[in-house]
């Protein structure tokens, strides 16, 4: 199983899964960038690395395609959960825990197809609104309806952490050009010391919200689980929706529920794309430490 990989997607947001016990190269920034490159590598929106954990059933590190490390990823967690279940690491247990840099989560396989996990729910932890914990450089305790100027334009931002930081902008009109212009500027704005994930959100009804996503370290993406959770937390806190939502993205829909204690639960589909071994020719191009 040396250098074995699995590539799967959650609503078009795709990750490569590797096992730290089975690879013979380090995940340096250079190696991550090359493996994730769609032309020169396998191509993906990031890498999920299975590692040991002393606190949970499994450990997970999450890497963005630019080589940076993410604290948490909703789609990544569902993809990783499918990998653990399908490849028998869980002994077909349908409920298990995963330790991430953004905290420990509980994952549950809700549905199977041909003995493979197809629908997965993840308890994502609590939504956090305290500015210093997200973190954002706001002078207020919470960063809600906060004016932020970006390249001459002022946005009213709503910031939340679901284990990783998010900036939610609620709008009456979703505009892809606006996302592509301001997403990267917001992500790297000095107001956000650890950079930030950006979502433009339009409330369609008390139970549906449509969003566009600029993901920290990855750029525009078709879907994001943690972004869906952050948007749900923001619109619920503002009293715009119910606590049980469908978040609509270009890659598909996720269900997000948040209780009165701000515990976040997310469920959605996940599918395997391919599996195999990293070739010797690609391995020869990877950095060795």
Evaluate if residue 289 carries a pLDDT over 80. no
Strand-pairing partners, residue 124, are none
The percent of residues in the chain predicted with pLDDT above 70, rounded, is 100
For 119, the token pair is 């629908």
Q: What is the pLDDT of residues 191-218, one digit of tens each?
A: 999 999 999 999 999 999 999 999 999 9
pLDDT over 90 at 247, yes or no: yes
pLDDT in tens, 13-63: 999 999 999 999 999 999 999 999 999 999 999 999 999 999 999 999 999
Mean of per-residue pLDDT scores for the chain: 97
Average pLDDT over residues 171-190: 98
Q: Which domains does the chain have, with CATH numbers?
A: 4-125+270-279 (3.10.310.10), 131-261 (3.10.310.10)
Q: CA 29 to CA 145: how far, in whole Å?
A: 36
Average pLDDT of span 240-261: 98
pLDDT-based confidence at 1, cuts 50/70/90?
confident
Task: Report angle CA 10, 48, 252 to the nearest 5 degrees.
Answer: 10
Categorize the per-residue pLDDT at 122 as very low, low, confident or very high, splitting at 50, 70 and 90.
very high
Please answer whether residues 253 and 221 qualify as being in contact, where contact means their C-beta atoms are separated by less than 8 angstroms. no
Q: Which residue carries 């991430």 as its tokens? A: 100
Burial of residue 125 (number of CB atoms within 10 Å: 0-12, 13-18, 19+) = buried
- Read off the pLDDT of each residue in 69-93 and give the average, rounded to a whole number: 97
What number is the average pLDDT over the span 172-183? 98
């Amino acid at each position: 199983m040396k250098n074995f990989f699995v590539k799967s997607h959650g609503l078009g947001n795709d990750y490569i899964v590797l096992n730290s016990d089975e690879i013979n190269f380090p995940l340096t920034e250079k190696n991550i960038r090359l493996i994730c490159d769609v032309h020169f590598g396998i191509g993906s929106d990031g890498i999920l690395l299975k590692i040991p954990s002393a606190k949970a059933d499994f450990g997970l590190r999450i890497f963005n395609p630019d080589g940076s490390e993410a604290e948490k990823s909703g789609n990544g967690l569902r993809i990783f959960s499918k990998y653990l279940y399908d490849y028998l690491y869980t002994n077909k247990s349908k409920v298990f825990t995963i330790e991430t840099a953004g905290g420990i989560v509980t994952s549950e396989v809700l549905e199977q197809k041909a003995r493979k996990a197809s629908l997965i729910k993840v308890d994502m932890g609590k939504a956090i609104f305290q500015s210093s914990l997200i973190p954002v450089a706001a002078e207020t305790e919470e960063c809600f309806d906060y004016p932020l100027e970006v390249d001459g334009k002022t946005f009213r931002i709503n910031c939340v952490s679901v284990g990783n930081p998010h900036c939610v902008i609620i709008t009456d009109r979703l505009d892809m050009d606006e996302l592509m212009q301001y997403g990267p500027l917001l992500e790297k704005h000095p107001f956000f010391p650890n950079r930030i994930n950006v979502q433009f959100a339009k409330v369609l009804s008390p139970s549906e919200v449509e969003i566009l996503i600029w993901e920290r370290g990855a750029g525009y993406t078709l879907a994001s689980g943690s972004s869906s959770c952050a948007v749900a937390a923001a619109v619920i806190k503002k009293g715009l929706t119910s606590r049980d939502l469908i978040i609509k993205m270009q890659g598909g829909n996720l269900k997000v529920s948040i209780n009165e204690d701000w515990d976040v639960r997310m469920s959605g589909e996940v599918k395997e794309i391919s599996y195999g071994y990293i070739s010797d020719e690609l391995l020869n191009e990877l950095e060795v430490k």
